[in-house]
Amino acid sequence: MICEINFDGIIGPSHNYAGLSHGNLAATRNAGATAYPRRAALEGIAKMRANLALGLTQGILLPHDRPNRRWLATLSTTYENADPVLQAQAMSASAMWAANAATVSPAPDTQDGRCHLTVANLVTMPHRSHEATETLRQLRLAFADPAFAVHDAIPAPFGDEGAANHMRLCERHDQPGIELFVYGVSGGGFPARQRLEASAAAARAHALNPAHTLFIEQAPEAIAAGAFHNDVVAVANERVLFTHERAFADRDSTYAAIRARAPWAEIVEVPVDAVSLADAIVSYLFNAQLVTLPDATMALIVPQEARENAAVWRWLQAMLAGNGPIRRVEVVDVRQSMANGGGPACLRLRVVADPARVDPRFLVDEARLDRIAEVIERHWPDAIAPADIANPELLARVGAARTALLKTLEIVELIYN
């Protein structure tokens, strides 16, 4: 039976704060701070447990091999000889943000009746540009069933950042819907990471009906304010689009186009005079998981930072007191991820599919999460300071930790020799 599966990225043992992501305000603000990989990974496990408790179907994606020595070899250097910036880029654990793994179109939307996934190239940021090869390996393993089609990344220079710039509206997950591809043109002093050409290429690869596909420009104002991905200012689930008033370059035309193609859609807009762009971005109000619960009601899973922001929490309480489609707000603690610029929505890739067609090693229940947590407790470093990333002992520990996890999960195909 088709349902939505949230595949969370397990936060890797090399999690650190190198401040590599220009335009991501949290990442640059915390550059040089000490990171806590074990705590970060356990926060992610706790979030997945909370999803299971809500009755959601939960999957995982695995940390990438770090440092990425194969990438450094293409630059004619080694980790030991690389300068500190290249070392940090090769050690990045940013693949934990699974929303950037791929763009996903479920079977009800595609002409061939398969679920299509296009791996994101992430070429705008050097530390993320080398993720696509490993992501492709994982997705082709997890989704090897003929019910899926996993596509190579779109070539450079057409930047593609995956599901973080893609939304889907439908009456139910298992029904055909409309797909919204959000791209950037200008972001003030920050780069617009999603190119229209990349979004259009993914739509063609997925064999989507052009009449049910929209290409929407993200507001330059939002990018300049720190909304480096669309999912920092808007999120959709089934018939609901939850969005900030300043998310899109042409708000009125965007809403009109959605309503013309999906008259059943409900747009829940947060006005700028209630929650400023600055408050929306610092709290990651929209970088939340908007999900349908087993009783068919909707819940919004927000980070602790949303509860701690007075304007945001006031608006959420007013929303719950009304009669809107979002009936519940759940709060999760993902502070280590948030400090590096990724909230609850960044940590997961949404795939609408039959779980029976997915490699079961990539799906989790409480017992499997217990096993993962045990590996993290035993092998993940407690802390990584900026000076540590050149330490040979840390490099060995990071590699051994990932290998221990893959062996525990019996996904040995991903171990590099």
Active site residues: 161, 229, 346
User: What does the alpha-carbon distance between residue 79 and residue 356 come to, in Å, rounded to a whole number?
Assistant: 41
Say what angle helices 366-379 and 392-408 make with each other, to 10 degrees.
160
Tell me the DSSP string of 9-52: EPPPTT-------TT-HHHHHTTTPPB-HHHHHHHHHHHHHHHH
**Helix (H) / strand (E) containing 397:** helix 392-408
Contacts of 152 (CB under 8 A, 6+ apart): 118, 119, 136
Three-state SS at 229? coil
CA distances from 73 to 69, 124, 134 (A): 6, 20, 16
Task: Indicate the burial class of 22 (C-beta count within 10 angstroms; 0-12, 13-18, 19 or more).
Answer: middle
Query: Both tokens of residue 229?
Result: 């991905």
Q: Residues 223, 187: contact at Cβ < 8 Å?
A: yes
Alpha helices (runs of H) in 173-250, residue ranges in sequence order: 196-205, 220-224
Beta bridge mates, 214:
180
